[in-house]
């Protein structure tokens, strides 16, 4: 924000001055000096600048007993909006987004600024020297967590890693098979205890060095060194053997029918052995990271990419705190965000029914009435999936009885009775104590308030506790219940086993050690089973959750992306995000 606007806002919001818009108000130099935190001499200089820029009208007092008068010529909202537009016009995106962050208590102004920001998002072509630069700008509602394959947890970070890095092989959800990527071929012995992977030649990391089998070996070793939450999945690997620069052999302690799934997942993203990923993320993917901080992530096309170079030259992802649960927008400049969201004029809409669901967790690390099964059964009825979809709607498309939509569809649905919930609540021994429900501000507030209201109707006292989006022991330790959402990978079996054994997610944070051991024992031989047997094990695990009300399923979601009709190459990547490596614009 420029200096003049900053000074004006200090004056306009100073309670001791009681200034009014378009009304002359008596003031003294001393009171202005206090409001501006400067000397009386500087006050006169500042007033002159503000009057020159038509922020105020200043009438100096003449003689003893005659007060000076100040008239505000702009409202606070007008001053903020003009400053925002001026910053945008000068390309000061960081400062403009910070200004939006200062308007959290003014919903109408915030919405106007977000709409103006949206017009600067989308696809831009810049003529630079003899060639054009195609730039896509996007807005996200929260900042990134760490972009480290060994610890990645959220869907968006996993998606980004897939744009910056690569794995030995990839999973094709359409066919349920595995395709070559950094490895062009692989083979295994009869008992599936020795696996050999043959690497592509000439694949370069973003820092220029050619990838070799040493990088693959170091990537696996790093999972152990940093105590990755994924390491349980790789415990069958006894050792690796580098066989030249482009061949690596894995020796397993027992047969592993899930081994290809493990090598295609994000945790086995191949990293260079000579770069510390905690300092700089270097991969072999279609995009490389140019800049990353709390405000923006900038990635650019990697010209030496071993696959097909992206059509986009650069992608800027700006982070606007508490943006709200908006749909994903991939638009051209000038599109009105509000109109587009309302009628999708001039846009293509891509719907993506997500594999996964919204659910409620019970915090068994905290002592309380929620340890009683009858209480959890009552809560199951309060958080009724049928009522949730019917009353709140939006992207909540079907009630959930499983993480898997096709399993939920088999259930015979009937809406629960709140009177039955009241009876169970009484049987549990509940005596009106406060139940803390934790939720994330951006996505879950409407749902949390709905639950509080339904609970109150049967005498259940729910107190809402907003918290940040990432699993955090400190922030969730006081909560009895937590609203969460899980979107599974295209390889849904990997997604579910990772959910059950990953020590970093909400599920692990909320389960007691005894309950955690139940799932570890249940999944002990998961990796040795065939696909049908693995599905059966996962079904049994969900039965445990459902029968004991350790998780209360809510609803399945529909993810939507709104895209300008001039954008081409619309391919959905994992978790329903657009594959930006394939997006392009048809220049007229």
Cα–Cα distance list, 375 to 362, 429, 478 (Å): 11, 8, 18
Tokens matching residue 566:
């001039």
Find the range with the poorest average confidence among 314-328, 417-431, 482-496: 314-328
What is the pLDDT averaged over residues 196-207?
98
Please indicate whether residue 561 or residue 72 has the higher confidence score (pLDDT): 72
- Rounded Cα–Cα distance for residues 206 and 166 (Å): 12
| pLDDT exceeds 80 at position 216 | yes
127 DSSP assignment: E
In tens, the pLDDT along 223-232 reads 999 999 999 9
Which phi and psi angles does 48 have, rounded to 5°? Answer: -65, -45
Note the pLDDT of residue 240: 97
Question: What does the chain come to in residues?
Answer: 588
The helix (run of H) or strand (run of E) holding residue 26 is strand 25-27
Average pLDDT, the chain: 85
Give CA angle at 61 (55, 64), nearest 5°.
160
Give CA angle at 564 (560, 566), nearest 5°.
140
Superfamily designation of domain 121-144+285-346+565-585: Periplasmic binding protein-like II (3.40.190.10)
Helical H segments across 357-440, by residue range: 373-382, 385-392, 405-408, 418-427
88: confidence class by pLDDT, cuts 50, 70, 90: confident
In tens, the pLDDT along 574-586 reads 666 777 888 776 6
Q: Which CATH class is domain 3-74?
A: mainly alpha
Helix (H, G, I), strand (E, B) or coil at 466: strand
What residue has token string 């909560």?
A: 479
112: confidence class by pLDDT, cuts 50, 70, 90: confident
Note the pLDDT of residue 105: 65
Please indicate whether residue 153 or residue 184 has the higher confidence score (pLDDT): 184
Find the range with the poorest average confidence among 260-264, 311-315, 324-328: 324-328
In tens, the pLDDT along 475-509 reads 567 899 999 999 899 999 999 999 998 888 888 88
Instruction: Label each residue of 198-213 as H, E or C.
Output: EECCCCECCCCCECCH
Helix (H, G, I), strand (E, B) or coil at 93: helix
| pLDDT exceeds 60 at position 342 | no
Q: Under CATH, which architecture does the 356-559 domain have?
A: Roll (3.10)
Note the pLDDT of residue 308: 93
Note the pLDDT of residue 123: 47
Chain CA centroid to CA 279, Å: 21
Note the pLDDT of residue 564: 54
Instruction: Tell me the domain boundaries of the chain.
Output: 3-74, 121-144+285-346+565-585, 166-268, 356-559
Cα–Cα distance list, 560 to 111, 148, 359 (Å): 20, 27, 20
Give DSSP secondary structure letters for 285-325. SSEEEEEESSSEEEEEE-TT-SSPPPS-SEEEEEE-TT--S
Note the pLDDT of residue 340: 35
309-313 contacts: CB < 8 A, separation 24 or more?
A: 310/286, 310/580, 310/581, 310/582, 310/583, 311/134, 311/569, 311/582, 311/583, 311/584, 311/585, 312/134, 312/135, 312/136, 312/580, 312/581, 312/583, 312/584, 313/133, 313/134, 313/135
| pLDDT exceeds 50 at position 129 | no
The helix (run of H) or strand (run of E) holding residue 249 is strand 247-252
Tokens matching residue 546:
């459902």
Cα–Cα distance list, 118 to 89, 274, 340, 388, 508 (Å): 13, 40, 11, 31, 38
Note the pLDDT of residue 130: 41
Helix (H, G, I), strand (E, B) or coil at 136: strand
What is the pLDDT averaged over residues 115-122?
63
| pLDDT exceeds 70 at position 405 | yes
| pLDDT exceeds 70 at position 472 | no
Q: Which CATH class is domain 166-268?
A: alpha beta
Which phi and psi angles does 45 have, rounded to 5°? Answer: -65, -45
| pLDDT exceeds 90 at position 66 | no
CB 329 within 8 A of CB 117: no
Please indicate whether residue 138 or residue 548 has the higher confidence score (pLDDT): 548
Please indicate whether residue 471 or residue 551 has the higher confidence score (pLDDT): 551
Note the pLDDT of residue 144: 79
318: confidence class by pLDDT, cuts 50, 70, 90: confident
Note the pLDDT of residue 35: 87
| pLDDT exceeds 70 at position 473 | no
CB 84 within 8 A of CB 1: no
Note the pLDDT of residue 27: 86
pTM (2 d.p.)? 0.79
- Rounded Cα–Cα distance for residues 483 and 268 (Å): 30
Helix (H, G, I), strand (E, B) or coil at 63: coil
What is the pLDDT averaged over residues 64-90?
80
17: confidence class by pLDDT, cuts 50, 70, 90: confident
What is the pLDDT averaged over residues 181-200?
96
| pLDDT exceeds 80 at position 474 | no
| pLDDT exceeds 90 at position 154 | no
- Count Cβ atoms within 10 A of the Cβ of residue 245 and give its class: 0-12 exposed, 13-18 middle, 19 or more buried: middle
What residue has token string 């003009």?
A: 82
Note the pLDDT of residue 331: 47
What is the pLDDT averaged over residues 358-376?
95
295: confidence class by pLDDT, cuts 50, 70, 90: confident
- Rounded Cα–Cα distance for residues 161 and 453 (Å): 40
What is the pLDDT averaged over residues 286-306?
93
Which phi and psi angles does 409 have, rounded to 5°? Answer: -65, -20
- Rounded Cα–Cα distance for residues 549 and 381 (Å): 11
Note the pLDDT of residue 220: 97
Instruction: Label each residue of 151-189 as H, E or C.
Output: CCCCHHHHHHHHHHCCCCEEEECCCCEEEECCEEEEEEC
What is the pLDDT averaged over residues 170-191?
95
What is the pLDDT averaged over residues 183-190?
96
Tokens matching residue 33:
């000096």
23 DSSP assignment: B
Note the pLDDT of residue 341: 38
- Rounded Cα–Cα distance for residues 299 and 306 (Å): 17
């Amino acid at each position: 924000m420029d200096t003049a606007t900053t000074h004006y806002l200090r004056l306009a919001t100073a309670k001791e001055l009681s200034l009014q818009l378009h009304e002359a108000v008596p003031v003294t130099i001393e009171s202005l000096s206090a409001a501006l935190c400067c000397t009386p001499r500087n006050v006169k200089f500042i007033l002159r600048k503000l009057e020159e820029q038509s922020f105020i009208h200043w009438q100096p007092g003449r003689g003893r007993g005659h007060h000076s008068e100040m008239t505000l010529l702009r409202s606070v909202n007008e001053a903020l909006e003009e400053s925002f537009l001026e910053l945008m016009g000068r390309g000061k995106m960081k400062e403009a987004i910070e200004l939006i962050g200062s308007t959290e208590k003014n919903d109408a102004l915030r919405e106007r600024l977000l709409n103006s920001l949206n017009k600067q998002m989308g696809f831009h072509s810049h003529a630079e020297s003899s060639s054009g630069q195609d730039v896509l700008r996007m807005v996200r509602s929260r900042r990134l967590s760490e972009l480290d394959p060994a610890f990645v947890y959220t869907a968006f970070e996993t998606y980004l890693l897939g744009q910056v890095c690569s794995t030995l092989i990839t999973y094709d959800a359409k066919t349920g098979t595995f395709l070559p990527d950094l490895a062009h071929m692989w083979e295994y012995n009869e008992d599936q205890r020795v696996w050999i992977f043959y690497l592509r030649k000439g694949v370069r990391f973003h820092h220029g060095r050619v990838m070799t089998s040493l990088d693959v070996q170091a990537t696996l070793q790093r999972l152990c060194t940093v105590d990755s939450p994924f390491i349980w999945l790789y415990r069958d690997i006894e050792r690796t053997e580098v066989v030249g620069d482009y061949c690596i052999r894995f020796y397993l302690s027992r047969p592993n029918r899930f081994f290809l799934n493990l090598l295609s997942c994000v945790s086995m993203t191949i990293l260079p052995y000579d770069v510390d990923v905690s300092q700089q993320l270097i991969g072999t993917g279609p995009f490389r990271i140019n800049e990353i901080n709390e405000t923006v992530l900038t990635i650019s096309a990697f010209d030496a990419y071993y696959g097909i170079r992206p059509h986009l030259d650069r992608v800027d992802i700006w982070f606007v705190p508490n943006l709200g649960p908006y749909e994903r927008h991939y638009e051209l400049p000038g599109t009105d965000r509000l109109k587009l969201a309302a009628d999708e004029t001039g846009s293509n809409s891509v719907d993506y029914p997500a594999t996964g669901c919204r659910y409620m967790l019970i915090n068994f690390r905290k002592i309380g009435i929620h340890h009683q099964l009858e209480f959890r059964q009552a809560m199951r009825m309060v958080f009724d999936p049928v009522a949730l979809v019917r009353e709140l709607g939006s992207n909540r498309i079907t009630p959930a009885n499983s993480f898997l939509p096709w399993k939920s569809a088999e259930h015979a649905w009937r809406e629960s009775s709140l009177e039955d919930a009241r009876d169970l609540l009484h049987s549990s021994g509940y005596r009106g104590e406060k139940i803390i429900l934790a939720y994330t501000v951006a996505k879950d507030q409407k749902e949390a308030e709905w639950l509080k209201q339904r609970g109150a109707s049967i005498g259940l006292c729910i107190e809402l506790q907003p918290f940040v989006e990432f699993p955090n022991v400190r922030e969730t330790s006081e909560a009895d219940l937590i609203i969460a959402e899980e979107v599974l990978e295209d390889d849904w079996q990997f997604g579910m086993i990772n959910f059950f054994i990953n020590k970093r997610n909400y599920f692990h944070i909320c389960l007691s050690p005894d309950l955690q051991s139940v799932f570890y024992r249940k999944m002990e031989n998961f990796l040795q089973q065939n696909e049908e047997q693995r599905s059966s094990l996962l079904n049994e695990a969900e039965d445990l959750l459902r029968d004991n009300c350790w998780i209360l399923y809510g609803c399945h979601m529909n993810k939507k992306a709104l895209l300008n009709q001039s954008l081409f190459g619309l391919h959905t990547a994992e978790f329903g995000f657009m594959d930006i490596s394939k997006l392009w614009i048809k220049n007229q």
